[in-house]
Amino acid sequence: MSLQTEVELLRRVTLFAHIDTTKLKLLAFTSERLTYGEGQALFHEGDLGDGAYLILDGEVDVLRNSDSGLILVNHLVKHSLVGEMSILCDVPRTANVVATMPVDALKIRKETFFQLLKEVPQLALEIMRELARRLNHTNDELVAARAALKARSGA
């Protein structure tokens, strides 16, 4: 795939829509294009967080390990960013990410990701908004789970 084609793909992603073309070219050039088959893991919970993944095409499930097996935490679609939490917080991966269909992804190395955040404040703001949306969703699910547990225990 040509560099220009990858830049056009990046431009369609809301997070990158307002980034200068020169920076998008650099992002496309320095990132790694990867493909995954259905059922294949992009990464596993506990892995070293060395980059974020932009889903260019396809869909993935975000799964957490638990005593009762894997729990579906989220389902992400085309143009979603995943894996950024471990590089932002400098912690191991907090979940397993598995392709639910063939996936094309762009792996953005940690150093490149941080350089973009420094140079493009709008990108940092968009990522903060996305993380806040995810936290709000998680809080809603926690409240619902606690209410269901309380109702089952008759408390």
Q: What residues have CB less than 8 Å from 2, skipping those under 6 apart?
A: none
Distance CA 25, CA 28 (A): 5
Q: How many CB atoms lie within 10 A of CB 37?
A: 10
pLDDT at 46: 96
Which pTM value belongs to this model?
Answer: 0.85
**pLDDT tens digit string along 90-123?**
999 999 999 999 999 999 999 998 998 888 888 8
**pLDDT tens digit string along 64-83?**
999 999 999 999 999 999 99
Question: Per-residue pLDDT averaged across 52-61, rounded?
Answer: 95
Task: Tell me the two tokens of residue 152.
Answer: 């089952």
| Number of domains comprising the chain | 1
Residue range(s) defining the domain that contains residue 138: 3-153
pLDDT at 18: 80
**Phi, psi angle pair for 61, to nearest 5°:** -105, 140
Residue 155 has pLDDT above 70, yes or no: no
CATH number, domain of 122, equals 2.60.120.10
Residue 1 has pLDDT above 80, yes or no: no
Q: Is 132 exposed, middle or buried (0-12, 13-18, 19+ CB in 10 A)?
A: exposed
Strand partners, 63: 72, 96
